Structure 1
Amino acid sequence: MVNKKGKKAVESLWKKEKYKVMYYNQNQYNTIRQLMRESLDDLSTLEAIINETYQMTPTKGSKINSYQHMWGYFKKIATTEEKETYQKYISTFEHHEQDLHELLKVLSLKYDMTYLKNSSILFD
């Protein structure tokens, strides 16, 4: 039987940490996603996996993947200038990761993307 209170706490934490976990390690993200499909309701299990993930070294690919997923919230509503800035930062990622991070943070506020505004990767 699913613990409804535990499930709600797990879902809340996952919403907050989802993109940061993806940033650190896609396999860990996939593991958690599968556990969520299986109705994970034990907060300590999720916390342990997340903490383990944050001890890992993110790859360039995992970082870019996470930023691309976040960009998905804006790709249809961003201005031409914002799209060009995003493309510049993503194509020169090694030199502009912090700029890309800031762009997504600013766009989250500008377009009032609550999900991203509550995400630990942009607003810790």
Structure 2
Amino acid sequence: MKSTWKAEDGRVKLHYSDQDMDKKGGAHSKFVITKNFLSYIESIKNLDADVMLEVKDKEVSAIKCTYALKEDLAISERTKQWAKYKYSLMEKNYSYYKKCSSLVNSKVHMKEVYMYIDQCLQESFDEGNFVNTAEHVYGYIKDKVTIKERENYNDLLKSPAENKDKIKSLLKKLCKKYKAEYINNSYYFIY
């Protein structure tokens, strides 16, 4: 490539992806692993290139990678990012939620916050944490839902491990229907 690429060809476009460890070789991960991405960027720092992300969550990882590369991110932006991730972390473990909240409000570089978020998002399903978070999310709409919607939610919640995708799908539908914008603008339904 180096011998055939000319200046008039424009900037080199490189594709970046992490392997989804739960799938066959070549399957893209759900999100970019911050630590891996930063190592990759360091390895190509002498190239004048654009990097395209190959990942399931597309724009979310693009925002994360952009902010992870910034030396100083305003506390308002850090807080906005945390608001988007917090229910996804709470779903994994409330202690992760608390620690990440502390990191966001500390002087730690945002890339460190994202590395911690990445670790948390890779944790296994925990029924108690899942139910606790689903109930928090449901709290945004519980006074608006119909009796039938409430019964459907409560029926699904009887077997959370079996119904986790259905529960989140129902919550997503209800949050959209009842305009629970704080949740709709979060990443809770992505992870």
After TM superposition, the score normalised by the length of structure 1 is 0.85
- Cα deviation for residue 101 of structure 1 reads 0.8
1:86–1:103 contact (8 Å) kept in structure 2: yes
Deviation at 1:18?
Answer: 0.7
The aligned counterpart of 1:82 is 149
Q: Which residue in 1 is equivalent to 2:174? A: 107
Q: Percent identity?
A: 24
Distance 2:190 2:126 in 1: 21
Match of 1:117 in 2: 184
Distance 1:60 1:79 in 2: 26
Q: Provide the secondary structure at the position in 2 that maps to 1:78.
A: coil
Contact 2:84/2:187, CA 8 A, preserved across alignment: yes
Q: Which has the higher strand share?
A: 2
Matched, 1:51 2:109: no
The partner residue of 1:23 within 91, 97, 113 is: 91
Match of 1:91 in 2: 158
Deviation string 1:24-64 (CA, Å, 9 cap, x unpaired) is: 1221111123345xx33532232121011122213111111
Aligned pair count?
119
Following TM superposition, where does structure 1 have runs of at least 4 consecutive aligned residues deviating by more than 4 angstroms?
A: none
Query: Greater relative contact order: 1 or 2 (C-alpha under 8 angstroms, separation 6 or more)?
Result: 1
Greater gyration radius: 2
Structure 1: tracts of 5 or more residues without a match: none
Is the Cα–Cα contact under 8 Å of residues 90 and 97 in structure 2 kept in the other structure? yes
Q: Secondary structure at the match of 2:82?
A: helix
Checking the alignment, whether the CA contact within 8 Å between 2:141 and 2:180 is kept in structure 1 is no
With structure 2 as the length reference, what TM-score do the two structures score? 0.57
Unaligned runs of 5+ in 2: 1-71
Aligned partner of 1:63: which letter? Answer: F
Bigger mean CA offset, 56-65 vs 100-109: 56-65
State how 1:5-20 maps to structure 2 within 5 Å.
5-20=73-88
Measured on the aligned residues, the alpha-carbon RMSD in Å equals 1.9
Higher helix proportion (structure 1 or 2):
1
